[in-house]
């Protein structure tokens, strides 16, 4: 009787260890960070733009160079300067066959206000759960808020669920990553992108 109880106890212990190992392995897979490098295929993605319309990368990849830049949040100083830089250099970038997409954890409505306030001439995508950023390996932190004014010039506090790091990618027409910058200077970003494309076109 005692031997039988011992065998049952050991069997239960072994099963418990096996379940723990499987769960631990699954958790490790979930926590495994994406580390995209130049030459890797970029993940396909879709999200709502500032007008609330669905935007799909599959509809754009292959037609132009696609600049995908992640930034912390609308109406914050560095992000304003970065958006203005891309806005002011858009004619040159367009002539180079470049399409620019800005992505942050801000809501669609916040993007609409930001685009209007800064006269932004490119698409902004809403990534409120941070999933797009994580698919590109971009670090995602806690949300935040910023105070600004709405379209009627009234004070408003805008909140975002997540804050994404400032990273910039350039995707080639084959959908592969041509360029990855994880230490972005907001003011210089658009110029560095233009210089990279210019150098690439001369090869």
**Predicted confidence (pLDDT) per residue in 71-80, tens digit:** 999 999 999 9
Domain match, 96 and 184 both: yes
Domain residue limits at 24: 1-32
pTM above 0.85, yes or no: no
Pair (14, 67) in one structural domain: no
Residues 19 and 90 in one domain: no
Pair (10, 53) in one structural domain: no
Burial class (CB in 10 A: 0-12, 13-18, 19+), 203: exposed
How many domains are contained in the chain?
2
User: So what's the pLDDT on residue 9?
Assistant: 41
Are 3 and 66 within one domain? Answer: no
| H-only helix segments in the chain | 2-31, 77-88, 90-95, 108-118, 131-135, 189-202
* Cα three-residue angle 84-138-162, rounded to 5 degrees: 75
One domain, residues 20 and 50: no
202 against 37, higher pLDDT: 37
Q: What is the pLDDT of residue 73?
A: 97
Q: Which of 36, 79, 83, 125 is catalytic?
A: 79
Active site residue 79: yes
**Same domain for 40 and 25:** no
Same domain, 48 and 19: no
Same domain, 110 and 170: yes
Q: How confident is the model at residue 150 (pLDDT cuts 50, 70, 90)?
A: confident
Contact criterion met (CB below 8 Å) for 130 and 27: no
């Amino acid at each position: 009787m005692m031997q039988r109880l011992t065998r049952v106890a050991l069997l239960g212990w072994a099963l418990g260890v096996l379940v723990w190992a499987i769960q631990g392995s699954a958790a490790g897979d979930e926590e495994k960070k994406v580390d995209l490098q130049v030459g890797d295929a970029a993940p396909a993605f879709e999200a709502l733009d500032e007008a609330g319309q669905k935007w799909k990368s599959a509809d754009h990849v292959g037609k132009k160079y696609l600049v995908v830049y992640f930034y912390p949040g609308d109406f914050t100083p560095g992000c304003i300067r970065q958006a203005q830089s891309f806005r002011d250099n858009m004619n040159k970038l367009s002539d180079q066959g470049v399409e620019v997409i800005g992505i942050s954890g801000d809501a669609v409505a916040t993007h609409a206000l930001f685009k209007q306030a800064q006269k932004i001439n490119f698409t902004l995508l809403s990534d409120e759960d941070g999933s797009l950023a994580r698919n590109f390996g971009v670090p995602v932190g806690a949300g935040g808020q910023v105070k600004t004014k709405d379209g009627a010039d009234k004070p408003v506090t805008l909140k975002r669920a997540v804050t994404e790091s400032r990273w910039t990618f350039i995707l080639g027409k084959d959908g592969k990553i041509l360029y990855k910058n994880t230490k972005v200077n907001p003011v210089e970003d658009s110029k560095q992108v233009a210089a990279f494309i210019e150098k690439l076109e001369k090869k």
